[in-house]
Amino acid sequence: MAENTIYVLGLETSCDETAAAIVKMPIDEGHVVGPGRILANQILSQIETHAPYGGVVPELAARAHLSHLDRLIAAAFDEAELQLSDMHAIAATAGPGLIGGVLIGLTTGKALALAADKTFIGINHLEGHALSARLTENIDFPYLLLLVSGGHCQLLSVNGLDDYTLLGQTRDDAVGEAFDKAAKLMSLGYPGGPQIEQRARHGNRSAHKLPRPLLNDRQAGLDFSFSGLKTALRQAAEKAAPLDDEKVADLAASFEAAIGDCLVTQTGAAMRGFRRDKVLQNRRGRLVVAGGVAANDYLRSRLSAAAQDENFDLFVPPPALCTDNAAMIARAGGERFAAGLIDPQPMAVAARARWPLNI
């Protein structure tokens, strides 16, 4: 293997995806250069397990991780045609997430690293998302990040590796969580995001006048809020009852449009602030949208138009890299390995249910 190439095994078990991946990355003078190559990306979704409950059941998720992670790691090595001894480092999500699941992936990663005498790196799951677009694109620092997923909704300035500035975040529900709850109150399936998106395509986005929380609140800054929007949707659904396919489509379309307005307005303001702070002047900025909600076509198209208006290039990872996956964890591990940003006591890295990226 070339001395300027590293191979990293990544493990992800923070929620309801069990995942193992191997990523090959070129390095030069302490930095990963270019996107690299995903040699294996094994993901086991637990959607069918949790669908009857309308959301993730932590104990069931942890049991599934325990049952399947070893098999997925073996499958990843087979797919990549490599062995544990070929790895330069092993990276595993250390948080934030459901603590039982995080512990399983973290403990497995540590055990493999000890057994093979390899470097172990505990990764912040949010950093994995923050760097996910660098798996497939040549994106230099700094860039603006909109992270939208089932558990997170944040605007961050990604200034460099291990250098993140929080600009705004949700005060209550994350976008993906709001989609799940909205789908549940309309008796749709789980996960709610794809269900809402599918029905919204056939609905009238102006059918219901739903609120756009915080957009007219000067003290809110770049924060988001979606719980009031969810309550307004419930009230609209009760008023429209009994619901048929057409009414559900109109409710879904109106809800999706309101979320789109919230994301576009706050992200637009963030792009203008980012341009001033980074003194971009007439140079094009870079906006990365990551997380599972980034797979929504309607929201992505609206954010693309907003980026164009602000003279920003939009980067969205492929759908398989938007949702939780281990390739992004391996990438984050590789970047930290190359830069020497490794915990001096890696085996003491603790699992965390909460772990803000800017701390």
Rounded distance, CA 191 to CA 181, Å? Answer: 9
Which has more confidence, 357 or 144?
144
Per the rule left: phi > 0, alpha: psi between -120 and 50, beta: everything else, 97 is: left
Helices and strands: H and E segment counts in the chain: 11, 11
Write down the domain spans for the chain.
Answer: 5-136+321-348, 143-316
CATH architecture under which domain 5-136+321-348 falls: 2-Layer Sandwich (3.30)
Whole-number Cα distances in Å, 57 to 15, 46, 53, 104, 297:
9, 10, 8, 16, 28
Q: Output the CATH code of domain 143-316.
A: 3.30.420.40
| pLDDT surpassing 80 at residue 358 | no
Task: Give DSSP secondary structure letters for 182-200.
Answer: HHHHTT--SSHHHHHHHHH
Give the mean model confidence (pLDDT) for residues 68-97.
Answer: 97
**One fold for 5-136+321-348 and 143-316:** yes
pLDDT digits (tens, 9 = 90+) for 219-250: 889 999 999 999 999 999 999 999 999 999 99
pLDDT value of residue 2:
53
pTM (2 decimals)?
Answer: 0.94
Q: In the structure, what pLDDT confidence band is assigned to residue 1 with cuts at 50, 70 and 90? A: very low
pLDDT value of residue 151:
86
